Amino acid sequence: MNDELVSIESTLTDYSKVNKEIGSVDYQMHQISDDIWDLEQGYQDCSEEKSAYIYLKSKRSELEDMKSKYEQAIYARFEDYYA
């Protein structure tokens, strides 16, 4: 019984940590999306703005991939636990 409780507590702690990471990634994605939107609204043929736009779109894609991996890790962890 104690081992089961320890396992549940450990799983919930891991879940909480990963959930915080997902929240952090979501926040970063939101900030980057805002920056991309701002650039698109005032977009001119300026190489500096164009570079920033390309960089931010790339960074958002990286963060989306990271979020997906975190979510998959959570689901895999709970699938293993409840299987």
The answer to whether 28 and 63 have CB atoms below 8 angstroms apart is yes
Per-residue confidence of the chain (83 residues) as pLDDT tens digits?
Answer: 566 656 666 666 777 777 777 788 788 888 888 887 777 776 655 677 777 778 888 888 888 888 888 888 777 777 766 65
Chain segment 36-47, per-residue pLDDT in tens: 777 777 665 567
CA–CA dist 67, 73 (Å, integer)? 10
**Residue ranges covered by each domain of the chain:** 2-82
